[in-house]
Amino acid sequence: MKLPAPVSIKWIASLINAELLGNENAEATGINEIHSVEEGDIVFVDHPKYYSKCLNSAASFIIINKKTEVPEGKTLLVVEEPFDAYSKIVKYFNAFVPAKKMISDTAVIGKDTVVMPNVFIGNNVSIGNNCIIHPNVCVYDNCIIGNNVVVHSGTVIGIDAFYFNTKKNRNVWFKKMQSCGRVVIEDDVEIGANCTIDRGVSADTKIGQGSKLDNLVQIGHEVVLGKNCLIAAQVGIAGATILGDGVTLWGQVGVNKTIKIGDNAVVMGQAGVTGNIEGNKTYWGTPIEEFYSKRKELVFIKRLPEIWERVKNLSGTKNK
């Protein structure tokens, strides 16, 4: 999430009651998770396993729970509970504003766009030209929808991310990460009925131009779909996964988090994608394998009884 304007890191430190180490005169321009950080961003870390990754990331400001050597040009904000400090900053700059109307006065809806009855459109939503938003669609705050987009009934766009800070040494094991990202849907996209698209925790979830989603599709936080992707019914894609252009996922495919799927990859139905896969190939199964290799394997398995009978008969002939 980008801050509305550069903010003095001294002011941020006072907001979260942090001790400053390093460059105290810098200004923060955003707040992000580690996989999305850019120069000028604030990030948090509360586990030694990830100290090095955060300290050596692109982030300029690190909220941390231990004093350590400060990398050149960076600033540490030392607090007892980095997660709580991070959440306080997000809530301050991205405060919840209750809706008072079905269509917010701050929403912008383009020319010749049709919004059917019982549609909810939240604060600061932008919808382009020539779109059709069917009944009972819900578009949460700050989402962006391009031109020539069709969204079918019952779909919800911009739900909070299913993302929690987990520690088992406290009464509440799962503390929710406050979602401050957006959903961005590009031109010429069609989204089926009863789909759910989560907003990013701190960056954007993106649906690329020309992509088509069937009914009952779940898109996790900060997922990026390339252009002209085809996603069939009951597919679930976990957070921060990146699909290249022209990817096809057939029905009930499950995709793990933070992985990459190459351009024009095709994944057959009910497969489980647990790691990065190359583009321009067809895949199947769980764990996933190339489709044609897997098919040969299954053909061979089906022929095992026949092969076994031949072996037995051949052995009997030799014994005679």
Q: What is the pLDDT along the chain (320 residues), one digit of tens a residue?
A: 999 999 999 999 999 999 999 999 999 999 998 888 899 999 999 888 889 999 999 999 999 999 999 999 899 999 999 999 999 999 999 988 998 899 999 999 999 999 999 999 999 999 999 999 999 999 999 999 999 999 999 999 999 999 888 888 888 889 898 899 999 999 999 999 999 999 999 999 999 999 999 999 999 999 999 999 999 999 999 999 999 999 999 999 999 999 999 999 999 999 999 999 999 999 998 888 887 777 777 777 787 888 777 787 777 665 55
Alpha helices of 272-303 — where are they, by DSSP H?
Answer: 291-302
CA separation for the pair 227, 120 (Å, rounded): 27
CB atoms within 10 A of CB 164: 13
Residues 82 and 142 in one domain: no
Give a yes or no: residue 196 inside a domain. yes
Q: How many residues comprise the chain?
A: 320
CB atoms within 10 A of CB 289: 15
Q: Which residues pair with 133 in a beta bridge?
A: 115, 151
Give a yes or no: residue 155 inside a domain. yes
Cβ–Cβ under 8 Å, residues 179 and 154? no
Q: What is the pLDDT of residue 304?
A: 80
In the β-sheet with 196-198, what is the strand arrangement from edge to edge? 120-121, 138-139, 156-159, 196-198, 218-219, 236-237, 254-255, 272-273
Closest CA to 77 of 91, 92, 61: 61
Residues 73 and 120 in one domain: no
Give a yes or no: residue 300 inside a domain. no
Q: What is the pLDDT of residue 93?
A: 94
What is the domain range of residue 52? 2-93
Sign of CA dihedral 18, 83, 196, 120: negative
Cβ–Cβ under 8 Å, residues 143 and 160? no
CA separation for the pair 56, 166 (Å, rounded): 23
Joined tokens for residue 116? 């059917």
CB atoms within 10 A of CB 117: 8
> What total number of domains does the chain contain?
2
Residues 81 and 213 in one domain: no
Q: What is the pLDDT of residue 298?
A: 74
Q: What is the pLDDT of residue 289?
A: 82
CA separation for the pair 177, 159 (Å, rounded): 13
Residues 169 and 283 in one domain: yes
Q: What is the pLDDT of residue 310?
A: 78
Sign of CA dihedral 224, 226, 228, 234: negative
Q: What is the pLDDT of residue 47?
A: 86
DSSP letter string over 34-47?
GGG--TTEEEEE-S
CA separation for the pair 105, 88 (Å, rounded): 28
Give a yes or no: residue 145 inside a domain. yes
Closest CA to 208 of 192, 188, 222: 188
Domain CATH number, residue 115:
2.160.10.10
Residues 141 and 179 in one domain: yes
Residues 87 and 190 in one domain: no
Closest CA to 201 of 29, 5, 14, 43: 43
Contact partners, residue 316, CB within 8 Å, separation at least 6: none
Which of residues 93, 123, 138 is at a domain's end? 93
Cβ–Cβ under 8 Å, residues 107 and 124? yes
Tokens 């996964």 locate to 241
Residues 267 and 184 in one domain: yes
**DSSP reduced 3-state for 2:** strand
CA separation for the pair 115, 187 (Å, rounded): 17
* DSSP code at position 73: T
Give a yes or no: residue 307 inside a domain. no
CA separation for the pair 48, 88 (Å, rounded): 22
CA separation for the pair 301, 200 (Å, rounded): 44
CA separation for the pair 160, 292 (Å, rounded): 39
Catalytic residues: 221
Domain CATH number, residue 20:
3.40.1390.10
Q: What is the pTM of this model?
A: 0.88
Give a yes or no: residue 313 inside a domain. no
